[in-house]
Amino acid sequence: MRVVGLSSLAKTETSQYGQKFSLASLDAEEQAILEDNWNKLLSTTDSQVRRIFEERADTIVAGIMAIKEKLNRRKFRGMNPGDAEIGFGFIRPGHVKTGSNAVGVGMRVNWRVAFGAIGTWVRYLDGLNITTPFNLSEDHGLIITHLVSQVSPTPFVRDVHFQIGRVDLIPEEVADILIGDNMNQVAVFPIPTKIVLPEDELLVTANGEVGNEDLKLGGLVVGLGRLLKREVPTW
């Protein structure tokens, strides 16, 4: 993927779902690091996930620039940031929470979601319960692009509902994740890209058939090296 020439690089502001984001610029060195590391990162993942990332490159770069702005315009250093520099990688369970918004508590250790009754919405990512969001740390943001069911052969999830800050999005029907309608017939389902800035509130609920789903949140975490380097993030 070529970074140079993407329209987002020339912008100072972007908007999403009625929210406006100020964008910090990426200098030539940062663009070169992003392009090199982006291609190395994508070479490690499934071809369908690569396609999603490649098709959304401009929006994802805008997300990186928005998070950089929130992180006081520190230097972007890709997959090898210093503690006070900005890096990126795939979202891991510890970058989101379930069940608590207290400092150092509630970070997820896996992607498990338990569906107990058909048609009943349950907690997926939250700060206490089905109506209470959690706040991302001051050191990291998220760019969410897709969902992956790690349950084989039949995923249980059918719908998800995102609330980001004051923006309450409509529930999204993702039942076609069952079909695996892609080259490798894997349970990957693209969803509209969502940018979640550091310290933003996030609440995600889910609905599905009865069973234990392992629903991976797909996309990128962008944040300071001091958080991204931790094997078990605490914030």
CA nearest to 137, candidates 221, 64, 193? 221
Over residues 207-228, mean pLDDT: 98
**Confidence (pTM):** 0.97
Integer Cα distance of 82 and 4 in angstroms = 24
Neighbours of 151 (CB within 10 A): 19
Give helix 28-42 / helix 57-70 axis angle, nearest 10°: 120
Q: Can you tell me which residue has the tokens 């569906």? A: 115
Integer Cα distance of 130 and 122 in angstroms = 6
Q: What is the pLDDT of residue 4?
A: 82
Tell me the domains of the chain and their CATH numbers: 7-89 (no CATH), 94-219 (2.60.120)
Q: Phi and psi at residue 141, in whole multiples of 5°?
A: -130, 175
Q: What is the pLDDT of residue 44?
A: 82
Tens of pLDDT, residues 48-104:
899 999 999 999 999 999 999 999 999 999 999 999 999 999 999 999 999 999 999
CA nearest to 195, candidates 225, 151, 227, 164? 164
